[in-house]
Structure 1
């Protein structure tokens, strides 16, 4: 099915119901539908070929999201630009992915000036909220068109989006995702967030809609739910919205959850309306997950996926976090859940053969969730999709109950003195210390061992701990081989979606060494 069908279904249930809210503004399903039809008709009137690339550069905003929906309705392809990115990064993506249309907010006008010079292929620029000499106003672009569905309707195999990879292990690639790929991702989310008939559904888009949060709104929209769009992430405002707007579901990466848990008085907040607090995009501290379960209740829901297989490889559902009425043990909480029933997941060895249950190998997945490939990089596609299996680059195993466990990224494994050290195991120990807000464990060059284990620690505000104390704690819990040899204390670099950028941390240590970072 086409992604635009999720909005159309929500509209068919209750056209006059409020579908989107931002601050004091609101849009009914009918109004939202009308805007997407006008955008689609205006795009088609430009004579753009099917799957023409269209970018949107905006902070979280319903109108910007309607442009994305309009792009899909027109049978064109969305290229997201992260609003926190630099102009040169935007230009590289626009040129690299052959973007011809750019919707943007006036706040980004200084960036657009540079982008226009560097991106000659751009032929249509639309400012969503102002007038600029070189761009069409939003009303001028689509206001005169009727709010009717265009004749063109995207097929399941049409390209819906080119998503830049996170860039945590190298330069971003363009992941080609079809309407079939992304519709299956939405369906997976619907399956794992059940509601009863008549239940109120309120989705809070707190994380960037250019990433996971945008797609997660579609499952609420398809069921006639309301999407509350948060424009400026702020912990206090976020908690006020969750409680005050009767939010039933939202997504945040672990690093933001850690900061929420530090908020004074969070234990006294009323989260009784909350049904699903979704987390993912990076590993989460088990200790902080336990804390979240106590603060927010039995609502935590982990989704494991990657851009190449968006959000749907496995799910650790709310009930999976418990054994009866007791919070489950660390081994269960550190898993990423049960593999999805809508795709096939396997653990394969270096020769592409399944390993025995419990043994470690590469997590691989096949099915309709798997990307079409990397844009204009057939050699990279062939390296990643082999015999129909998407090789995720994650090492892991399946336990006796069928739960999938991620050991680490293949590129992150530290080889010290001939022993493999998985950073995630050491990070779980460090996260358990009350002074540690976040951490990253990496390998650094060592003349004797080849690589030595180093921990980079970001402390909680006002907290203090010595490197000796942390090293001793790790030696006690995971042994001297896996324990860090050195500890640095500094803020951790993160991507715009909250992932710790280990490649940036490693860079200064491996700049002149023979190791790919």
Structure 2
């Protein structure tokens, strides 16, 4: 099936059900279907060929989702582009993905003017909310385009989208998702998280990443998408209560902000069925707070752009281990492999390792991308020994639960010992005064690299360096304890909320010949 076929399935279940709802509009599945057909037919009229690339440059919004569906309807390939990125990075992404049509919101008109100078492959601009100097308004551009399905053929190997890798170690790479990748993600999702009633999904994280992918999955079962322009604790809590939200995805940093919001316990979260967290390891102590505040609804997935979202799954039931010391340690895991994906631990020589051994997490199956767009060298590099290499270091226990130890590139070598920042961060996150933290290696004449913690405190809280170091020594010993601690007002974060260790590390390694 094509990705757009799954949306049409959602329409067939209840055409009158609300599909997209933001602060401006509320549109039914039938209305969104007709609008996606108009956009798709207008794209075909203006020369969009099957498999040509198009993007939407906008914040979260109903009209932005309609444009994505229109691109798919026309047989085009959606290239998600987060408008919160720096313009040069987005220009690179658009050019690298060969985008030729750009839908954009007038809020970003200044960005679009710069993009026009940097991206000569873009031949058509359409403003989704109003006319502008660069492109016509969407309503005018559609004109009398038909609201019937153009029904462009496609099969499991047809490209549906090109997501960009994080680019934390260099230029972003275009990750190709075929219809088959989407199919396997859909099958994995609903196998792990079956629905018992029409869902209500809150889109609060950027729709160009996991929240948008999750929205497209849930449209297959007729879910209502309640769309917020961005993450903000109070509107998120209020929307869950007022809209009866059943499904929510947030990265850990956003969840920490939600937990620390004054009065969070006063809201009613009884409608929640699945509160999904992913994208980075989460503090076990804060996860326990989540269970107290939100109830038995927390679930974790592990994936990456190259093998999206559902390589492993830790269910709400598997979170209910309070008081069971033997099982409580599983809260630090990201669950067990899902039904359609193999997950293993591999050493540098390509040998699969037994339970308990640390090595690189590798995955195999049809959830894995077919490759990077126009980059066979990078594709080959991450596909050695017949597995996709995630770049994450992990271990599996005897029961098949996967524990992410760290990113391979984040490992600190201090005095000849391998130190994994995530286990130190887990200890620091557990302190009541800590909002978030990052542990990195900094240059040191004696140790080569010294362990350093950079800590962001909750508003109004205080903590000193000695207390943090003593806390870590007691839990992990002297080798792994930070040699120094700094307190920053806020940690640098990516547009999707991940702490940018690269930026923190550059603060301490600037001007040096080596960076390790």
Which of 402, 405, 412 aligns to 2:403? It is: 405
- Structure 1 residue matching 2:330: 3-state secondary structure: helix
Q: Deviations over 1:319-354 (max 9, x none)?
A: 111238869854200000011111111111111111
Q: Deviations over 1:373-397 (max 9, x none)?
A: 1222211111101243100011111
Q: Is the 8 A contact 2:130 2:136 kept in 1?
A: no
1:262-301 maps to which residues of 2 (within 5 A)?
262-301=260-299
User: CA distance change for structure 1 residues 476 and 482 in 2, over 3 Å: closer, same or farther?
Assistant: same
- Structure 2 residue matching 1:356: 3-state secondary structure: coil
Q: Distance in 2 between matches of 1:387 and 1:430?
A: 37
Between stretches 496-505 and 373-382, larger displacement belongs to 373-382
Q: Distance in 1 between matches of 2:323 and 2:70?
A: 46
1:166 maps to 2:166: yes
Q: Is the 8 A contact 2:42 2:142 kept in 1?
A: yes
Counterpart residue number, 1:108: 108
Q: Is the 8 A contact 2:206 2:230 kept in 1?
A: no
1:30-49 maps to which residues of 2 (within 5 A)?
30-49=30-49
Q: Is the 8 A contact 1:455 1:488 kept in 2?
A: yes
Unpaired segments ≥5 residues, structure 2: none
- Structure 2 residue matching 1:333: 3-state secondary structure: helix
Which of 358, 371, 375 aligns to 1:377? It is: 375
Which of 201, 219, 229 aligns to 1:231? It is: 229
Counterpart residue number, 1:76: 76
Q: Is the 8 A contact 2:199 2:246 kept in 1?
A: yes
Q: Is the 8 A contact 2:231 2:254 kept in 1?
A: no
Counterpart residue number, 2:26: 26
Which of 320, 323, 326 aligns to 1:322? It is: 320
Q: Is the 8 A contact 1:243 1:270 kept in 2?
A: yes
- Structure 1 residue matching 2:302: 3-state secondary structure: strand
- Structure 2 residue matching 1:183: 3-state secondary structure: helix
Counterpart residue number, 1:242: 240
Deviation at 1:511, TM superposition (A): 2.9
User: CA distance change for structure 1 residues 141 and 155 in 2, over 3 Å: closer, same or farther?
Assistant: farther
Between stretches 54-63 and 329-338, larger displacement belongs to 329-338
User: CA distance change for structure 1 residues 290 and 237 in 2, over 3 Å: closer, same or farther?
Assistant: same
Which of 302, 308, 332 aligns to 2:300? It is: 302
- Structure 1 residue matching 2:505: 3-state secondary structure: helix
Q: Distance in 2 between matches of 1:204 and 1:274?
A: 10
Q: Is the 8 A contact 1:20 1:28 kept in 2?
A: yes
Unpaired segments ≥5 residues, structure 1: none
Deviation at 1:143, TM superposition (A): 3.6
Q: Distance in 1 between matches of 2:325 and 2:144?
A: 57
Counterpart residue number, 2:502: 503
- Structure 1 residue matching 2:80: 3-state secondary structure: strand
Q: Is the 8 A contact 1:169 1:502 kept in 2?
A: no
Q: Distance in 2 between matches of 1:327 and 1:187?
A: 33
Deviation at 1:464, TM superposition (A): 0.7
Q: Is the 8 A contact 1:166 1:495 kept in 2?
A: no
Between stretches 164-173 and 232-241, larger displacement belongs to 164-173
Deviation at 1:97, TM superposition (A): 1.8
- Structure 1 residue matching 2:208: 3-state secondary structure: coil
Between stretches 63-72 and 17-26, larger displacement belongs to 17-26
Counterpart residue number, 1:349: 347
Q: Is the 8 A contact 1:175 1:374 kept in 2?
A: yes
- Structure 2 residue matching 1:81: 3-state secondary structure: coil
1:203 maps to 2:205: no
Between stretches 79-88 and 276-285, larger displacement belongs to 79-88
Counterpart residue number, 1:91: 91
Deviation at 1:171, TM superposition (A): 2.8
1:122-271 maps to which residues of 2 (within 5 A)?
122-196=122-196, 199-271=197-269
User: CA distance change for structure 1 residues 143 and 156 in 2, over 3 Å: closer, same or farther?
Assistant: farther
Q: Distance in 2 between matches of 1:170 and 1:89?
A: 11
Q: Distance in 2 between matches of 1:50 and 1:444?
A: 50
The number of aligned residues is: 515
- Structure 1 residue matching 2:206: 3-state secondary structure: coil
Counterpart residue number, 1:121: 121
Q: Is the 8 A contact 1:321 1:328 kept in 2?
A: no
- Structure 2 residue matching 1:85: 3-state secondary structure: coil
Deviation at 1:250, TM superposition (A): 0.7
Q: Deviations over 1:396-440 (max 9, x none)?
A: 111111111111111111111111111001000100111111000
Q: Is the 8 A contact 2:198 2:221 kept in 1?
A: no
Q: Is the 8 A contact 1:165 1:172 kept in 2?
A: yes
User: CA distance change for structure 1 residues 146 and 502 in 2, over 3 Å: closer, same or farther?
Assistant: same
**Cα RMSD for the two superposed structures:** 1.6
Q: Is the 8 A contact 1:445 1:513 kept in 2?
A: no
Q: Is the 8 A contact 1:168 1:495 kept in 2?
A: no
Between stretches 137-146 and 404-413, larger displacement belongs to 137-146
Q: Deviations over 1:63-89 (max 9, x none)?
A: 111111111121111111112122222
Q: Distance in 1 between matches of 2:93 and 2:348?
A: 33
Q: Distance in 2 between matches of 1:135 and 1:506?
A: 41
TM-score under structure 1 length normalisation = 0.96
Q: Distance in 2 between matches of 1:151 and 1:165?
A: 30
- Structure 1 residue matching 2:436: 3-state secondary structure: strand
Q: Is the 8 A contact 2:83 2:90 kept in 1?
A: no
Q: Distance in 2 between matches of 1:16 and 1:450?
A: 64
